[in-house]
Structure 1
């Protein structure tokens, strides 16, 4: 199995020597509350997560090689199995479920009924997935240090280049991208393809990154214990702490955040009062 979340001190040192910004002091946590009682347990190295229009939660289980579906009632079913290193997961406006296979360098597309087909091949260790406003699938293509944007017809555009081990990306309302790099902090892509590091405070940002309003994103720290809000200027606010290797993150229908951890192989909710 290919190494997934393996960052080295050398990479981080080189990033600092290249002039990335100094570590920012995080603001204290705001009004969020972490529910420390897991709502879904017994997972297998969960990574990508997303909710469909009916409120079902889909979870890509890396080591189990499957995608689980959890109904709002808590009932669980195996949505897809026999996958090799499923990592990122995203759901289109049509309800199709897209799952990146980190080991096979491709992305699968599943219909709501579970019909399976390859959407795009020839990738380079694809990690996190999300959709932009144009309906393109954003793929964190880790080995080429790029964010790719795949159109519905399969044509591929390069949305960002020159990153450092990207594992997740999310589009802001103005079209800019915020990118989590497992060995290079959080980057902003604005007005072109080139990225600019804005925060290097996290130990190893994971694939879990979701939009937080007009100019920020929520980001997990796989190498640490936190979920943070990081704005386009790099200002960080810790919204949850005490998690064991958080990896996946999704916006829930009720406005809370669902976070998946490898330490507990479970999901937890982060809520506003």
Structure 2
């Protein structure tokens, strides 16, 4: 019988147990999970960024001309609809910009599908355009739309559009076949966002409220007391962020709502018109902690050297978990005990 590569000598197991006792006997570093929030500030012609956990204002991220819809792709690039220039601008995480698309009438909401295609609602052309990652544009939908604003995808790949001029929310299949998803309780809807349970939230601009819809389209009021709610986005903790365009003493604020609907002012330093919100998730640190403990055990059991399982999953003739490597890249600082990150 071939040896199991995951099992070391008995004495190594004793060392592993002692290591675990040591690790849990001392407090490790405090890790806080936070996302990056991007807010398009219409009248100031800026996109501003924040820490979702502390509310820290990082500053101006970009200066597009009258920004509207904002979306973040899977690699962290930020796309912004520039209303007055009729273009879509792409920004790298460091803020370098390039023009992604031009020649648009009045671009509004933006959203990415799971394949990395970008969708843009043009509220004057009453059209939703689709862009490949290479920037090739095509018409995705142009029927049943009347001044479309915000866009959002559900987990099945269906696209939802806030049909502002008709006071409805339209639903489109991946093939572009449209139908009315909701047509009650809405007055000038703008922003849309899905929570992790598949419920759709809509910013009811004309009604000063946030409406919540189940997957079947049953609606209810989630929050009230807003001035002019516009863009919506959820962070990784399930909190809803709302751009209240003309709310607050300085004509614009960002509101934050817990999953149970408890609201608070997240930021109140705007002067004129925050309109859309996009959130860039940051990887959850607890994942790295779990991986770290496994790697620490492997190092004790297998000796002080590093142990890597080949991608084909075969080591010493036995199939094991593939692609695991225990190491610490230089970009991750050592804590009191250790730190690790998957490459």
What is the TM-score of this pair, normalised by structure 2?
0.61
Contact 1:161 1:194 in 2 (8 A): no
Greater Cα offset, 81-90 or 227-236: 227-236
Give 1:77 shift. 0.5
Query: Cα offset for 1:214?
Result: 7.1
Distance in 2 of aligned mates of 1:180 and 1:195: 13
Which residue in the other structure is 1:223 paired with?
246
Higher Cα Rg, which structure: 2
In the aligned structure 2, how far is the partner of 1:231 from the partner of 1:157? 31
User: What residue number does 2:156 align with?
Assistant: 134
Pairing 1:246–2:274 present: yes
Equivalent pair of 1:32/1:239 in contact (CA under 8 Å): no
- Structure-1 residue corresponding to 2:60: 38
Q: Over aligned residue pairs, what C-alpha RMSD do you find?
A: 2.1
Contact map agreement 1:178 1:232 (CA 8 A) in 2: no
Secondary structure of 1:201 counterpart: coil
Question: Which structure has the highest helix share of the two?
Answer: 2
Kindly tell me: are residues 174 and 57 of structure 1, through their superposed partners in 2, closer, same or farther at Cα, counting changes over 3 Å?
A: same
Asked whether the equivalents of residues 209 and 219 of structure 1 are also in contact (C-alpha less than 8 Å), the reply is yes
Q: 1:210 aligned to 2:233?
A: yes
Tell me the distance in 2 between the aligned counterparts of 1:85 and 1:168.
16
Task: Provide structure 1 residue ranges, at least 5 long, that are not aligned to the other structure.
Answer: 6-29, 256-273
Displacement, 1:175? 2.3
CA contact (8 A) 1:32 1:240 kept: no
Residue 202 (structure 1) shift: 1.4
Cα separation, 1, equivalents of 2:136 and 2:228: 35
Q: Where in structure 2 are the equivalents of 1:58-73 lying within 5 Å?
A: 58-73=79-94
Gap change, CA 1:157 and 1:211, over 3 Å in 2: farther
**Structure 2: tracts of 5 or more residues without a match:** 1-41, 43-51, 284-343
Instruction: Give the Cα separation in 2 of the matches to 1:218 and 1:33.
Output: 11
Counterpart check, 1:200 vs 2:228: no
Change (3 A) 1:63 1:91: same
Q: Secondary structure at the match of 2:165?
A: helix
Larger strand fraction of residues: 1
Matches within 5 A, 1:76-95: 76-95=97-116
Structure 1 residues 113-152: aligned runs within 5 Å: 113-122=134-143, 123-152=145-174
Shift of 1:204: 0.2
Q: Distance in 1 between matches of 2:246 and 2:102?
A: 28
